Chain A
Amino acid sequence: MENGLSLFSFSQELVQKQAVEEVLSSNETSARFGLVLTEQQALRLVSTRMQALKNTGRVEFGGGVIDKLIFAFCDSPYIGTQNYEQTLHELVDLFYYYKNELPGTFSDAELIELMKNAFNGPCAGSLELLAGLELDVTARRLRGGLPAEEENSDIDTGEGEDDDTES
């Protein structure tokens, strides 16, 4: 019997091709805030996403979460043209990492909302704080069966983190 053709493994390159087109289409929305990705940047973002997916053992189709991150973060006061692409790379990495860390019932939209509120709020645009404190604590709370909400207020009280980083 001849070996079958694995449509699944062949599909990864095609996924990338589709994704670049979808990421570029999100420029329409982000352009209102002066943020636009070039095709090269979109390709690099998709590569980052592919690597993040590979690292976390996940598969995604189309533009996937990059589009959603762009729509959620393009109006952030902490993002400008100079750090737009880099911030998106790190947000993509963080998203997939915590997607695996959080319970399966936690939706994309909920995670992005959590990231956005923390990034624009207590983390004040700091990706390090977002990764190292806010998301980490939330993931631990959710894994322990506690709601994410209350911990947010705890984190808020520790907003002296800005001070910590400065010191």
Chain B
Amino acid sequence: MTTQNLEPQRHLDPALLNNATYTESLLGQAVARGLLSPQQLEVVQLGYLGLLAKQVERFTSGESSSVRNEVARHLMDSLLFVVGLRLKTCPHPDDALALLLHTPAQQLFDEGMALLRRKLQRTKLVHTHLTKTLLHTPNVYYRSTLADGIRGFFKLYDPRFGAQEIHITADYPAFLPPTGLVGIEFMAWYTEVLTFENDFCRHFDDAAIDRLLRGIYGPYEELLINLYEPVLLTALCCVLAGRSPHALALRPGDITALNARFRPLTAAELQTVLAGAVEPLQLALALPAGICGYVSRSLPKAAALLQSAAETGTLHKLLAPPAAAAPADEFQFDFGAPMPPQQYSALLDELCSCRYLADKLALAQQQITSLTDFSNLLLDAELEDDELAAFVALLGPAELAALHALWPDDETGETAELRTARAITARIATLPGPDAQWVEAAAAKLAQQSDPLCPVQD
């Protein structure tokens, strides 16, 4: 008989419970299925009413026995969320219902609050790791949400009276959709999945990711996009195409071949294909088990995206060859337009007739507006070594780099170019360490670029 009485209580369906309002949905389902008598319900209600009264008293610091409706509702939602955290630790909703019926509201609240505080602490730790290892990307939403936005949540979050609140807008979308979570549960989930996604992306070179994203989206700095998605899809497809995933560099032919391979497959079949790429990807990138687990959890959505794109002939919107190196990686230097030849000759004559170096320098500074003229002057003005050094000292790091690239100090001799090159080298040597390194690196890059520096010659 006892077994028969208990049997109906084994019919609460976990799938029908609401994650965000777990306690209310648990009671709602229990009432709807006749598992709670009106008397039992009234006892529960009275218990939580008393708890709400205490919360109102705490909220108003005992100074007001009444609060506006919306405040009371908000406080009730908060305390039921906290209690829900405790109830969710039960293996089955039936156990949660039994716990709810037989445990004082205050006790469940206290236990739920202890769980909440542990979850909050853990989420803060995960977030600290995330901010320390954040991917370097020009996408503005990435840092603003993952670092600043989540930090804002911790500042505003008040478990006592607003445990169910999220506070921030969480602009940056995670790859996997949230499952109706609120409060610290949402933030713990959000922080964790974004940490997995960030850690996965950190297994690739920042520049490779940048080139991939530019290849797919063009300028993506202000696009509200998930960065993990293209990296994951491209990495998996690189494996399938027989390429190393590190460079995230599919070729047009690879994408055409993948399109043909994916098109006849169902999403489930494609998921199986992608699953076969996970282990090689894990080996190639030395992915930790946690990240690998997240990649596996991502496969159903990845397969759905690729299958849909292949079916509609839009795979090129998900996969693309990487763009060329971003302009920011290149050094471009403009020597500027030269002055008219007659004006230059007059300047040169006047400068050569100057007796003092200070006058020469002043004249050059007054009349020269381009590096073309300045570099020509260095060669034409028949300057002494000390004068040459003084002229070169007028140049900034960028100009030094440009001239160093133009006249590398790699030969001996006494031509004007070589004397100037030595003066520039000597000047670079006087710069602070980082500046000197930058000038050397920039000069090397300028010298390597396909469009060599060519100051306009008269």
Contact = CB atoms under 8 A, between A and B. Distances in A.
Interface of A: 1-8, 10-11, 14-15, 18, 53, 57-62, 64-65, 68, 96, 99-100, 107-109
Given A4-B27, A59-B72, 9 more contacts: A4-B24, A4-B28, A7-B80, A8-B73, A60-B67, A62-B53, A100-B68, A107-B64, A108-B66
Given A6-B24, A14-B46, A109-B63, A58 B68 contact: yes
B42 interface: yes
Interface in B187-204: none
B175 interface: no
Residue with the highest number of chain B CB atoms closer than 10 Å, among A53, A65, A107: A107
B49 A4 contact: no
Given A4-B28, A107-B63, A109-B63, A11 B68 contact: no
Contacts of A18: 46, 49
B247 interface: no
A2 B52 contact: no
Contacts, number: 96
Interface stretch (B13-21, B112-120, B335-343, B348-356): B13-21
Contact of B68 (A6, A8, A59): A59
A93 B326 CA distance: 71
A2 B11 CA distance: 14
Interface in B52-74: 52-53, 56, 60, 63-73
Contacts of B69: 57-59
A59 B76 CA distance: 12
A105 to B, nearest CB: 8
A68 B65 contact: yes
Contacts of B324: none
Tell me what chain B mostly uses at the interface: helix, strand, loop, or mixed.
helix
Given A2-B32, A4-B27, A64 B63 contact: no
B29 interface: yes
19 contacts: A1-B17, A2-B32, A3-B28, A5-B31, A7-B24, A7-B44, A8-B52, A8-B72, A8-B73, A11-B52, A14-B42, A14-B46, A57-B69, A58-B66, A59-B66, A60-B66, A61-B49, A61-B53, A107-B63
A2 B32 CA distance: 8
Contacts of B25: 1-5
Interface string B79-94: 0100000000000000
Nearest to A54: B69
B153 interface: no
A51 B68 CA distance: 14
A98 B44 CA distance: 34
Contacts of A100: 68
A60 B45 contact: no
B65 A62 contact: yes
B64 A15 contact: no
A57 B68 CA distance: 6
B186 interface: no
B72 A2 contact: no
Contacts of A99: 64, 66
A58 B67 contact: yes
Contacts of A64: 65-66
Contacts of B45: 7, 10-11, 14
A44 B340 CA distance: 102
A18 B60 CA distance: 21
B67 A59 contact: yes
Interface in B1-52: 16-18, 21, 23-29, 31-32, 41-42, 44-46, 48-50, 52
A167 B266 CA distance: 92
Interface string B248-292: 000000000000000000000000000000000000000000000
B18 A14 contact: no
A2 B64 contact: no
Given A10-B45, A15-B49, A53-B66, A61 B56 contact: yes
A51 B231 CA distance: 61
A18 to B, nearest CB: 8
A61 B27 contact: no
A2 B29 contact: yes
A140 B28 CA distance: 46
Contacts of B66: 53, 58-60, 64-65, 96, 99, 108
Contacts of B70: 57
Contacts of A109: 63
